Amino acid sequence: MANDLVNIKINGMPLSVPKGSTILEAARQAGINIPTLCYLKEINAIGACRICVVEVKGARSLVAACVYPVNEGMEVFTNTKKVQESRKLSLELILSTHKRNCLSCVRSGNCELQKLCHDFGVDDEEHFAGAMPDAAFDDTTGVIVRDNSKCILCRRCAAACARQQAVGVIGVNDRGFDTHIGCVMDRDLSEVPCVSCGQCIAACPTGALHEKDETDKVWAALADPTKHVIVNTAPSVRVALGECFGMPIGTNVKGKMVAALRRIGFAKVFDTDFSADLTIMEEATELVERIQNGGKLPLITSCSPGWIKFCEYYYPEFIENLSTCKSPQQMFGAVAKTWYAEKSGIDPKDIFVVSIMPCTAKKFEANRENQAASGFPDIDVALTTRELGRMIDRAGLKFTELPDEDFDLPLGASTGAGVIFGATGGVMEAALRTAAETLTGKELEKLEFDDVRGVSGIKEAKYKIGDLELKVAVASGLSNAKKLLENIKAGKANYDFVEVMACPGGCVNGGGQPIQPASVRNTVDLRTVRAASIYEEDKNLPLRKSHDNPSVKALYDEYLEKPGSHKAHSVLHTTYVKRDRY
């Protein structure tokens, strides 16, 4: 409606924008990109960095566009000399306490501070040389590295941790010159209930937060002639890896990814989708058994290690509800060092299993107890999508020019059900496809369970399967998981099956995925674009149900007997622990 709009001018251009818009939002509507550092849409809007300042006619000083609302007749100027000088000065002040080892920084070339300094002509001269604050370096978790010498106090990480993930283990400590990001009482991350989800890394505009790089371990294994080094890749990696090489967001690069991994030197290149199908066979069986035999409900999925750790820390009363199934990553390693080892005639101790994951918490999961079905760790090294990108660069591969190649068999065989694990609701949908046909003995006419698709934080649905009405819910992002669990605890909600993913949107938006700057994240829904490619692959695959996977069938026939068997439990299932928060 007309009275819901206000009329303003930006750089002399008349514009009508929704009432309540900020100057930043209005400028974007006009095709003007006002630079930001601390602002991150739906996560952080505090006007602290002063990079987005603009002139407003009649105002006594420059205003922060990210928090300043428009009003009728306002005149805004975004690129005056005063504005540009202010932004440059702010950048020089930020650099005055910033460690300048850009050449070796993991974010070099993809650092928002670096780009802004280039754009505003900030040179290498130290304009404000003087005392440097004490800067903590913390790599105690073995997953997330925090280097405060590169922190710019934008607070995006703290906002992501508290608002998005409902964890809040990092925040602002001290005041004035001593202000810094840290944990309560400046404890190490390993001493607080961090769940290793990595959303703080995805939010960070610089190299102050990054994953513990383990690529050298993989290069060493590849150079060891006694090791049979194999790799498996999660479904969401294929729709994000291309971004490391300038390809459009959501491009499915499965074939090029396989080709790159072969050229890096892996003996076999397998698909985690195989073990995703295997997870469904076990999890759907577990769901059916709990429903039919009065087991603990709701059954809650166990594929997301960040979610599992969150549950162990914050909601231990739900541990009995968790599926005992290992995640697809861990199932893959367990099968690789048992069934695959036997079939290949290789001693499990000589098999080195690498997984490529969209998730930093997978590094933590690889080192959990009760994850060694063969007597050796199921997974030797878990790498993020970003780490794989760096390996491809180091190998000198021209990724975009590589041919498309197929996964190796048998652990490369998969179905569409395994593919959709990468999107929120995908595990639920894949399990429903198998559970429905198991319960009814009939083939589904429609395989899509549309109600559990999409990026809404919490989704609910009811499905009539034979004589059973199945009540399900899906949550992604731990703040949404918290809301859902609180409703269940309070008796406000009742479900049979619940899927939880730690990261908003699921694995496609995992903490280990390629980092996109705020200028992209504020305008593009990465979750939706990447997930669309996953669903497109599912739609086009000849097999779309986990129980139709021929290699999974062979695994049960030759080794595991049947889903839920004693042998299957010894290889594919695990346990959980209650964790003390402090």
Residue pLDDT, tens place only, 1-52: 456 999 999 999 999 999 999 999 999 988 999 999 999 999 999 999 999 9
> Exposure of 525 by Cβ count < 10 A (0-12 exposed, 13-18 middle, 19+ buried)?
middle
Would 325 be classed as within a structural domain? Answer: yes
Q: Which residues span the domain enclosing 78?
A: 2-93
Tell me the C-alpha to C-alpha distance, in Å, between residue 470 and each of 17, 320, 323, 432, 578: 45, 20, 17, 10, 29
Residue 510, pLDDT score: 97
Domain stop point among 42, 76, 93: 93
Residue pLDDT, tens place only, 71-109: 999 999 999 999 999 999 999 999 999 998 999 999 999
Residues 178 and 241 in one domain: no
Would 107 be classed as within a structural domain? Answer: no
Residues 181 and 258 in one domain: no
Would 164 be classed as within a structural domain? Answer: yes
The CATH number of residue 64's host domain is 3.10.20.740
Query: Mean pLDDT across the chain, nearest whole number?
Result: 95
Residues 176 and 236 in one domain: no
Residues 204 and 226 in one domain: no
278 pLDDT exceeds 90? yes
Record the tokens describing residue 252, joined without a space: 């499915």
Nearest to 355 by CA among 272, 265, 253, 244: 272
CB 185 within 8 A of CB 571: no
Would 131 be classed as within a structural domain? Answer: no
- The arithmetic mean of pLDDT across residues 453-459, rounded, is 94
Higher pLDDT, 441 or 396: 396
Residue length of the chain? 582
Q: What is the DSSP letter of 69?
A: B
Would 195 be classed as within a structural domain? Answer: yes
Residue 2, pLDDT score: 55
Percent of the chain with pLDDT over 70: 99
Residues 446 and 508 in one domain: yes
Pairing of strands 144-147, 137-138: antiparallel
> Residue 124 — pLDDT band, cuts 50, 70, 90?
confident
The CATH number of residue 190's host domain is 3.30.70.20
Would 582 be classed as within a structural domain? Answer: no
Residue 134, pLDDT score: 87
Residue 129, pLDDT score: 80
Residues 384 and 505 in one domain: yes
CB 544 within 8 A of CB 417: yes
User: How many domains does the structure of the chain reveal?
Assistant: 3
Residues 144 and 240 in one domain: no
465-538-457 Cα angle (round to 5): 70
Would 526 be classed as within a structural domain? Answer: yes
Alpha-carbon gap, residue 177 to 153, rounded angstroms = 11
Domain stop point among 93, 113, 148: 93
Residue 465, pLDDT score: 86
- The arithmetic mean of pLDDT across residues 262-290, rounded, is 95
Residues 253 and 326 in one domain: yes
Residues 204 and 335 in one domain: no
125 pLDDT exceeds 90? no
Q: What is the DSSP letter of 248?
A: P
Residues 172 and 187 in one domain: yes
- The arithmetic mean of pLDDT across residues 511-538, rounded, is 96
Residue 409, pLDDT score: 94
Residue 84, pLDDT score: 97
Classified as helix, coil or strand, 389 is helix
Strand partners, 354: 231, 381
Domain stop point among 77, 93, 109: 93
Nearest to 12 by CA among 65, 66, 71, 79: 79
CB 262 within 8 A of CB 405: yes
Residue 499 Rama label (left phi>0; alpha psi -120 to 50; beta): beta
Residues 225 and 316 in one domain: yes
Global pTM value: 0.95
Residues 399 and 435 in one domain: yes
582 pLDDT exceeds 80? no
Record the tokens describing residue 456, joined without a space: 């809404």
Strand partners, 420: none
The CATH number of residue 374's host domain is 3.40.50.1780
336 pLDDT exceeds 90? yes
Per-residue exposure over 456-470, b if at least 16 CB sit within 10 Å of its own CB, e if not = ebebbbebebeebeb
Would 225 be classed as within a structural domain? Answer: yes
Residue 532, pLDDT score: 96
554 pLDDT exceeds 80? yes
- The arithmetic mean of pLDDT across residues 465-482, rounded, is 93
581 pLDDT exceeds 90? no
Rounded (10°) CA dihedral 557, 563, 569, 570: 10
